[in-house]
Amino acid sequence: MQSTSDTQLLEISLGPQHPSTHGVFRMNAVLDGETIVKLKPVMGYLHRNHEQIGEHTSYIGSFPFTDRLDYFCAMSNNLGLALAIEKLGNIPVAERGEYLRIIMVELTRVLNHTAVTGFLLNDMGAFGTPLLYAFREREKILDLFEAASGSRMMCNYIRPGGVRIDVPEGWLQQARALVAGYPQFLDEFERLLTKNEIIRQRTQQVGILPKALAVNASITGPLLRATGVNYDVRKVDGYSIYPRFSYKVPLGSVGDVYDRYYVRILEMRESLKILQQALRDIPAGPAVSPKGQAMVKAPRTFRPPKGEVYSRIEAPKGELGFFLTSDGTPQPYRYHIRAPSFINLTVLEDMCLGYKVADAIIILGSIDIVLGEVDR
C-alpha cells in the first residue's frame, strides 16, 4: 500500500494476545509512520454460544451464564435478565429485594469504574500505583459480594422476584462503612490523576468521539455521556426503584479520553449518593419475614405466557438489554443480548484515525470493554 506522500504504509496487528487489548482481541492497523490511517477491530475469539445455550435451558438456568458476560459486573448482568423475566411473566418484586438489588448493582458500578480507571492509567504507562490503589478498593467490594452470594465474581445472586438469599447479619453495616469511606479514596485518586499535567497532555483532545456519531452509532453509557448527551437508562426508563433516589447524570463536553475518565469519576460519586440513600431506607427484617422478605416466591418451573419482551438496564458500560421470546415452554424460544461493549467498539476506528499507535492503546482502554460480553 502507498500513502499520498509516496511513503510506504505499514500494516501491523495488535493482539490477540497483546496486553493492552484486555483479552483475546485484535486491532489490525495501517500506519503512515506512527499515524493510524486505518484500523479494523477483530473479535470472536471468545465466542461460546451464550444465546444458543440460553434457548436450550430454563429461564432461571441462564443466570450463571450471565455472570460470564461482563465478568467484572456479574450483579448488573443478573439484574438485566431478572427484569426481562419479571416483565415477561408479570412477577412482582419484594421490597427488600428491590433495595438489595440497587445496592448490589451500584456497588458494581463503583467497582467497574474504579478498576477501569486503574487499567487506563496502566495502559498509559503509569505502572503500579493507580492500578494497585484501584484494586485495593475493588477487593473491599468483592468481599461484600462474597459474603452475600458466596462468590467474589460469579455471583449468581439476583433472581426474578428479588434476590436468591438475604444478606447475612452485619452485612449492611459493613456496606455503610465502605460507602462512607469511599469518597476519601476518590479524593486521593483525583489528587493523583485529575490535574496531573502528564495525564492531561496524553488524554485531552485525544480520541474525540463526535456527539452526532455517538448518537447515530447507538453508543451508550459513559462513552456517550462524555460527548455531552444526557442519556441514562436509569433516568429514561425509571426501572426498579431508581425514581426514589436523588442523583445527577454527569456529562462531558469534548468527548475525548479525558472526558471519559472524568465522567466515570463523577459517576462513582453519584453512585455513592444512591448507595447512601438505599442503605438508609432499606426495609428491616430477615428474608423470611412477610414485610421484609428479599424475594417473592416464584414457581420453580417457570412457564411464561407466549409473547416477547425487551428489557434494559444502565450497566456500567452502557445499555445492557435482554430480548426474550416465549412460546409457553420452560425454555425461551429466542434469547438475545444487547451487549454495550460490543456496540461501543463499532466506533473504535473513527476515534483512532489520525492519532498515534500509543494513542490507540488508551483510546481502546477508555471505551472499557470486556471480551466476555463482546463475543458472548
Residue with cell 466515570: 264
pLDDT band at 172 (very low <50, low <70, confident <90, very high): very high
Q: What is the pLDDT of residues 314-349, one digit of tens each?
A: 899 989 999 998 888 888 899 898 888 888 888 888
Q: What is the DSSP track for 323-337?
A: EEEE-SSSS-SEEEE
Average pLDDT over residues 166-192: 89
**279 Cβ contact partners less than 8 Å away, ≥ 6 residues apart:** 103, 172, 175, 176, 179
What pLDDT is stored for residue 289 in this prediction? 40
Confidence at residue 94, expressed as pLDDT on a 0 to 100 scale: 84
pLDDT at residue number 291: 47
pLDDT for the residue 175: 92
- Residue 274: per-residue pLDDT: 93
pLDDT at 348: 87
Amino acid at residue number 260: R
Task: Report which residue type is found at 148.
Answer: A
pLDDT in tens, 262-314: 999 999 999 999 999 999 988 876 543 444 455 666 666 778 888 899 999 98
Per-residue confidence (pLDDT) for residue 290, from 0 to 100: 46
In DSSP terms, which residues pair with 35 in a beta bridge? 32, 356
How many other β-carbons are positioned within 10 Å of the β-carbon of residue 112? 26
Q: State residue 106's pLDDT score.
A: 93
- The whole-number pLDDT of residue 1 equals 47
Q: How much is the pLDDT for 101?
A: 92
Burial class (CB in 10 A: 0-12, 13-18, 19+), 196: middle
Compute the chain's Rg from CA coordinates. 21
Confidence of residue 2 (pLDDT cuts 50, 70, 90): very low
Confidence of residue 245 (pLDDT cuts 50, 70, 90): very high
Mean pLDDT for the chain overall:
85
The pLDDT of residue 296 is 61
The per-residue pLDDT for range 19-48, each reduced to its tens digit, is 666 678 888 888 888 888 898 888 888 888
User: Checking phi first, is residue 261 left (phi over 0); if not, alpha (psi -120 to 50) or beta?
Assistant: alpha
Q: What is the pLDDT of residue 152?
A: 82
The per-residue pLDDT for range 60-111, each reduced to its tens digit, is 888 888 888 888 888 899 998 999 988 888 888 888 888 999 999 999 999 9
| Residue 58 burial by Cβ neighbours in a 10 Å radius (0-12, 13-18, 19+) | middle
The long-range contacts involving 225-231, CB below 8 angstroms and separated by at least 24 positions, are 225/249, 225/250, 225/251, 225/252, 225/263, 226/251, 226/252, 226/254, 226/255, 226/256, 226/259, 226/260, 226/263, 227/252, 227/254, 227/255, 227/259, 228/252, 228/253, 228/255
**What is residue 295's predicted lDDT score, i.e. its pLDDT?**
63
